[in-house]
Amino acid sequence: MVMGDLVDEVDVAVVGGGPGGYSAAFRCAELGLETVVIDADRRLGGACLFEGCIPSKALLHVAAVVSEAERAKEWGVDFGEPRISLDPLRKWKQERVVGKLARGLAGVAKSKGVTVIGGRAAFEDSSTLRIEGETLQKIRFKHAIVATGSEPSPLPGVALRSDRVMDSTAALELPDIPERLLVIGGGYIGLELGTVYATLGSRVTLVEMTDGLLPGVDRDLVQPLQRRIEKLFAAVHLRTKVTGLRETGDRIEAALEGQEPQAFDRVLVAVGRRARSGSLGLEATGVRLTDRGGFIRIDERGRTDDPHVYAVGDVTGEPMLAHRAMRQGKVAAEALAGQPAAFDNVAIPAVVFTDPEIAWCGLSEAQAKSQGMETKVSKFQWAASGRAATIGRADGLTKLVAEAASGRVVGVGIVGPGAGELIAEATLAVETAALVEDIAATIHAHPTLSETLMEAAENLLG
Ligand code: FAD
Ligand code: NAD
């Protein structure tokens, strides 16, 4: 089948080519189903590859190198002040990182026989999609998988449209390094992209409406990050809302609750993301949305209220993470192929790629308590880790939460460099119901940061 051809009938039509959509499509093809992916951008990768996980992590890697070079001064190694050239940096991110991965995904689709159709899809009924691309097409399907993702939420009550007011997609383009940047929202994006810009030289002011950064995340993990952010950023205002933005020449004047208006060169709005479930014609199907947030309602197999339609990824709600979308995609593909698959994972790891990184999985201490679970909690400070000493990072913490009666590990939180990699072992432990003594008795290579998990477990055994 050639891209752009009229497709009469397929087994599976996947709407949206992000991590949820392409994972579902690849698995469907592996299971012998004729599969097409329709994406408005005419390519596979979605928000994650083109405007999310990958470009942000490329820039965060650059920020980490700059910070590490700064730290090296303490060890008697001075590389001098960094000189940042935006053109090569953008080119590296766009072509060598994003472009290369995009070509890889296109190659996988080809090798698996998955057809990618460029265009915006909407349902005409429970077995037909209408696609508006370069040509108008209709596809009839036995099953559809909706994987249309999410988009940035606008700042409530502030209608200003200006190139200087950016969402994460615009900020990742790195238009310049503004002298003064206002970041609205102290969640994942505000902290990650705020870190990038602050390290590259912007004076960053962050405004968060709740009383702490990363609301909902264990305070023991957030504290070391907050201390670092307060040093790196010019100002952090908690319990504060932005009540207005006004363009004045080449500046944005921001009204912060209870403060004099302040001028910024650019503003990044990062106050959450919302489901992309509108304009899909879902009302022509049996698909139903959740009462709050407009997410598509699904069961553990990815089935919507319409027997012909499945849904995966951000459009189905929190946590809006690429690895959750990918797992859901594979589950939905297997479920519609008649296999006994279900999204029954106990632990979905989460990583905030700041400096230090924060990562967690399973239950936090507070969540376990609110479920009435008696727990034993161990906190291992990295000040006692040999590996942390060798990299000059004693500011980390590994926290282990176990069910008191059984000794089963139910949750782990880690803050420190490399936490995002370390959480993999913890996720396996929670997912496989490992006991504290399993982790304590497992030999961990020395000297590594992974030993902190073993040490935290040993502390619990007394
Ligand atoms: P998406 O990736 O959003 O893909 C949806 C696709 O559907 C898009 O390609 C879109 O063009 C297409 N589409 C939408 N409507 C239609 C239509 N009507 N017809 C045809 N096509 C349509 N997650 C992590 O796990 N780790 C990270 O480090 C991370 N970093 C992030 C950084 C940023 C700045 C952002 C914004 C997000 C980040 N995320 C991260 C979240 C991650 O990007 C999402 O969870 C993930 O992309 C969701 O995948 P998805 O397949 O559900 O949807
Ligand atoms: P978020 O939900 O992580 O954080 C939004 C923050 O904005 C919250 O702290 C909230 O209290 C605050 N806020 C909301 N309204 C506000 C207002 N009017 N004024 C000031 N503060 C306000 O959302 P995000 O940072 O936009 O990221 C969206 C989603 O994208 C994340 O929830 C996550 O699912 C995904 N993401 C993941 C990663 C990762 O995995 N490393 C990175 C980036 C994004």
The residue to mutate among 189, 207, 239, having the most atoms of ligand 2 within 8 angstroms of its beta carbon, is 189
Token pair for 41 = 């951008």
Residues 4-30, mean pLDDT to the nearest whole number: 90
Please provide the DSSP assignment of 70-129 as one string: HHHGGGT----S----HHHHHHIIIIIIIIHHHHHHHHHHHHHT-EEEESEEEEEETTEE
Q: Pocket around ligand 1: residues whose beta carbon is below 6 Å from it? A: 15-21, 38-41, 46-48, 52-53, 56-57, 120-121, 147-150, 168, 189, 276, 280, 313-315, 320-323, 325, 353
Active site residue 323: no
Atom of ligand 2 nearest to the CA of 156: 18
- Overall size of the chain counted in residues: 462
Report which ligand 2 atom has the smallest distance to the Cα of 207: 20
Q: Is the pLDDT score of 134 beyond 90?
A: no
Q: Is 190 in the pocket of ligand 2 (CB under 6 A)?
A: yes
Q: Alpha-carbon distance 399 to 363, whole Å?
A: 11
Helix, strand, or coil here: 136?
strand
DSSP assignments along 255-294, one per residue: EETTS--EEESEEEE-S-EEE--TTS-GGGSS--B-TTTT
Which range is least confidently modeled, 20-24, 157-161, 179-183, 320-324? 157-161
Average pLDDT over residues 224-232: 97
The pLDDT confidence band at residue 412, using thresholds 50, 70 and 90, is very high
For residue 393, give every residue at least 6 positions away whose Cβ sits within 8 Å of its Cβ, in sequence order, or none.
356, 382, 416, 417
pLDDT above 80 for 377: yes
Q: Which residues of 235-266 are buried (b: 16+ CB within 10 A; e: fewer)?
A: ebbeebbbeebeeeeeebebbbeeeeeeebbb
The ligand 2 atom at the shortest distance from the C-alpha of residue 190 is: 25
CA distance to 83, 156, 266, per residue, from 66 (Å): 10, 35, 22
Q: Which residues pair with 132 in a beta bridge?
A: 120, 136
The β-bridge relationship of strands 409-415 and 358-362 is antiparallel
CA separation for the pair 71, 73 (Å, rounded) = 5
Q: For residue 47, how far is its CA from the centre of ligand 1 (angstroms)?
A: 3
pLDDT more than 90, % of the chain: 95
The pLDDT score that the predictor gives to residue 3 is 47
Q: Does the Cβ of 192 fall within 6 Å of ligand 2?
A: yes
Full DSSP string of 203-241: EEEEE-SSSSSSTTS-HHHHHHHHHHHHHHSSEEE-S--
- Please answer whether residues 411 and 368 qualify as being in contact, where contact means their C-beta atoms are separated by less than 8 angstroms: yes
Among all ligands shown, which has an atom nearest to the Cα of 153? 2
Statement: the pTM of the whole predicted model exceeds 0.85: yes
Which residues does residue 236 pair with via DSSP β-bridges, in sequence order?
206
Which residue's alpha carbon is nearest to atom 33 within ligand 2?
A: 320
Q: Are 436 and 402 in contact (CB under 8 A)?
A: yes
Residue minimizing CA distance to atom 8 of ligand 2: 187
> CA-CA distances (angstroms) from residue 453 to 79, 235, 337?
34, 34, 39
Please confirm whether the linkage preceding 447 is cis (ω < 30° from 0).
yes
φ, ψ dihedrals at 345, nearest 5°: -65, 140
CA distances from 80 to 199, 228, 460 (A): 15, 22, 45
The pLDDT, as a whole number, for residue 137 is 92
Coil vs helix vs strand at 181 = strand
Confidence grade of residue 6 (pLDDT, cut at 50, 70, 90): low
Query: Tens digit of pLDDT for each residue in 71-125?
Result: 999 999 999 999 999 999 999 999 999 999 999 999 999 999 999 999 999 999 9
Residue range 159-170, pLDDT digits in tens: 888 999 999 999
Residue 449 confidence (pLDDT): 98
Q: Which residues contact 305 (CB under 8 A, 6 or more apart)?
A: 286, 287, 288, 297
Ligand 1 binding pocket mutation candidate from 38, 148, 285 (most atoms within 8 A of CB): 148
DSSP 8-class letter at 316? G
Kindly give the distance from the C-alpha atom of residue 283 to the centroid of ligand 2, in angstroms, as a whole number: 29
State CA 420 to chain mean position distance.
12
Copy the structure tokens of residue 262.
Answer: 């302040």
Q: Is 319 in the pocket of ligand 2 (CB under 6 A)?
A: yes
Q: How far apart are CA 222 and CA 215, in angstroms?
A: 9
Tens-digit pLDDT profile for residues 163-213: 999 999 999 999 999 999 999 999 999 999 999 999 999 999 999 999 999
Nearest-atom number in ligand 2 for the CA of 215 is: 9
Q: Which residue has its alpha carbon closest to ligand 2 atom 16?
A: 271
- Atom 15, ligand 1: residue with shortest CA distance: 148
Amino acid identity for residue 236 in this structure: V
